[in-house]
């Protein structure tokens, strides 16, 4: 009996210490749960605040121009006649050109780094590509204006004009005097800027493919191209699509680099060589000079349009990812 009492006395402090530890862990878990919930709610609140602020600031322009603001080409601060047509057109065209160039090159770089590059060079090349993402956009803009645009004007644009002369559609798409600056040059600069995002994310997701799948494909006699097409890309398509959409979001909202090389002309031209503008470039160029409610409100409405374009693009991306996951299941 004495031994039993002594054992209970000795186990009492241990039991209390365990209870306190469990209570402390439960309290930490509750605090952590509430903090993560508040963080998620804060994101939604901030996003809602941005939307409300944009809609409120754009009200004068919405009432003055209506839906015609989306397609009108005029931009005259003197008469307070504004239209977003050229800016929306330039944003979509430059982003499309950038994606058309950057996506295949980025996937090719990722394939080279994961499958073909010697192991000694993989890390240095990967770091060099990732460093491109850290270069400020204004540096890209300066380089594009003083180095790349003269090169395009002297060598690329004259060759393309001569090559596509008389070809239906392409002759209009690559027509006009070789200015050097324009939507095509802006698309090239954007492609260079978003290339690190596509290449880095694609490389990371390619490395998650189990080696046994690659070895099985190689054992069946598949070439590197066939292995990438039928094994690696289907296995990593969700991550690849996510990286591409992230790069597209960067291209849609880029400001300074595009402002330097696009020409900042408020007009719609079928030629990629012609100067144009984008939503972000228009806002950056004219917001400090905006005088009057209508002028300022028109610029805010441009920001609202860019917000909805980005939202639509991301929604389409989520839908594509959902369809891919359903097919995989």
* Tens digits of residue pLDDT in 183-238: 999 999 999 999 999 999 899 899 888 889 888 888 888 888 889 988 898 888 88
Residue 1 forms part of a structural domain: no
Residues 202 and 228: beta-carbon distance below 8 Å: no
Residue 250 forms part of a structural domain: yes
Number of domains comprising the chain: 1
C-alpha 154: how far from chain center = 30
Residue 123: give its domain's CATH number: 1.10.3720.10
Residue 87 forms part of a structural domain: yes
DSSP string covering 45-114: HHHHHHHHHHHHHHHHHHHHHGGGGGT---EETTTTEE--HHHHHHHHHHHHHHHHHHHHHHHHHHHIII
pLDDT reading at 11 higher than 60:
no
CB-count exposure of residue 64 (10 Å: 0-12, 13-18, 19+): middle
* Percent share of the chain, pLDDT over 70: 94
Q: Strand, coil or helix: what is 38?
A: helix
Higher per-residue pLDDT: 242 or 34:
34
Residues 262 and 281: beta-carbon distance below 8 Å: yes
Does the CA dihedral 289-293-294-297 come out positive or negative? positive
Residue 63 forms part of a structural domain: no
Q: Strand, coil or helix: what is 210?
A: coil
Q: Give residue 8's pLDDT.
A: 47
pLDDT reading at 305 higher than 80:
yes
Of 196, 153, 209, the residue nearest 177 (C-alpha): 153
Long-range contacts: 91-94, Cβ < 8 Å, 24+?
91/252, 91/278, 91/279, 91/280, 91/306, 91/309, 92/309, 93/183, 93/187, 93/272, 93/276, 94/183, 94/186, 94/187, 94/190, 94/251, 94/258, 94/262, 94/276, 94/278
Higher per-residue pLDDT: 53 or 169:
53
Cβ within 8 Å of residue 314, ≥6 positions away: 245, 249
Cβ within 8 Å of residue 284, ≥6 positions away: 255, 256, 259
pLDDT reading at 289 higher than 70:
yes
What is the rounded distance in angstroms from the CA atom of residue 148 to the CA atom of residue 272?
16
Residue 142 forms part of a structural domain: yes
- Residue 112's domain spans which residues? 71-328
* Percent share of the chain, pLDDT over 90: 42
Q: Strand, coil or helix: what is 255?
A: coil
End-to-end Cα, the chain, rounded Å: 64
Q: Give residue 4's pLDDT.
A: 46
Angle at 275 between CA 83 and CA 135, to 5 degrees: 100
**Per-residue pLDDT tens for 140-187?**
999 999 999 999 999 999 999 988 888 888 888 898 888 889 999 999
Residue 305 forms part of a structural domain: yes
Q: How far is CA 189 from CA 90, 95, 131, 153, 186, in A?
A: 14, 10, 16, 14, 5
Residue 15 forms part of a structural domain: no
What is the rounded distance in angstroms from the CA atom of residue 193 to the CA atom of residue 80?
35
pTM score, whole prediction: 0.85
Q: Provide, for the chain, the percentages of residues in helix, strand and coil under a 3-state DSSP scheme, each rounded to the nearest 5.
A: 80, 0, 20
Mean local confidence (pLDDT), 246-275: 90
Instruction: Count other C-beta atoms under 10 Å from residue 279's C-beta.
Output: 27
Mean local confidence (pLDDT), 258-277: 91
Q: Where residue 12 falls among pLDDT bands split at 50, 70, 90? A: low
Ramachandran region of residue 315, left (φ > 0), alpha (ψ -120 to 50) or beta?
alpha
pLDDT reading at 44 higher than 80:
yes
Residue 251 forms part of a structural domain: yes
């Amino acid at each position: 009996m004495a031994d039993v009492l002594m054992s209970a006395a000795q186990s009492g402090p241990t039991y209390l210490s365990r209870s306190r530890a469990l209570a402390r862990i439960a309290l930490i878990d509750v605090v952590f749960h509430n903090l993560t919930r508040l963080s998620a709610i804060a994101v939604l609140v901030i996003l809602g605040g941005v939307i409300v602020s944009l809609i409120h600031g754009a009200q004068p322009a919405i009432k003055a121009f209506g839906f015609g603001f989306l397609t009108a080409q005029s931009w005259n601060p003197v008469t307070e006649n504004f239209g977003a047509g050229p800016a929306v057109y330039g944003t979509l065209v430059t982003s499309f050109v950038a994606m058309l160039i950057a996506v295949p090159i980025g996937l090719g770089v990722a394939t080279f780094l994961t499958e073909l590059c010697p192991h000694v060079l993989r890390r240095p090349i990967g770091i060099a590509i990732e460093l491109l993402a850290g270069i400020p956009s204004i540096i890209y803009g300066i380089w594009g204006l003083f180095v790349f645009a003269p090169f395009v004007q002297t060598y690329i644009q004259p060759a393309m004009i001569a090559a596509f002369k008389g070809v239906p559609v392409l002759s209009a798409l690559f027509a006009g005097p070789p200015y050097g600056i324009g939507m095509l040059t802006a698309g090239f600069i954007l492609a260079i800027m978003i290339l690190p995002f596509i290449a880095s994310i694609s490389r990371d997701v390619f490395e998650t493919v189990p080696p046994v799948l690659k070895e099985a494909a190689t054992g069946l006699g598949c070439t590197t191209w066939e292995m990438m097409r039928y094994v690696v890309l289907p296995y990593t398509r969700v991550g690849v699509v996510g990286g591409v959409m992230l790069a597209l979001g960067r291209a849609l909202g880029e400001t300074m680099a595009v402002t330097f090389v696009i020409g900042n002309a408020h007009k719609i031209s079928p030629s990629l060589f012609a100067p144009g503008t984008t939503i972000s470039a228009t806002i950056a160029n004219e917001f400090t000079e905006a005088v009057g409610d209508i002028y300022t409100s028109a610029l805010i409405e441009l920001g609202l349009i860019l917000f909805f374009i980005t939202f639509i693009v991301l929604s389409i991306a989520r839908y594509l990812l959902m369809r891919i996951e359903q097919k995989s299941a």
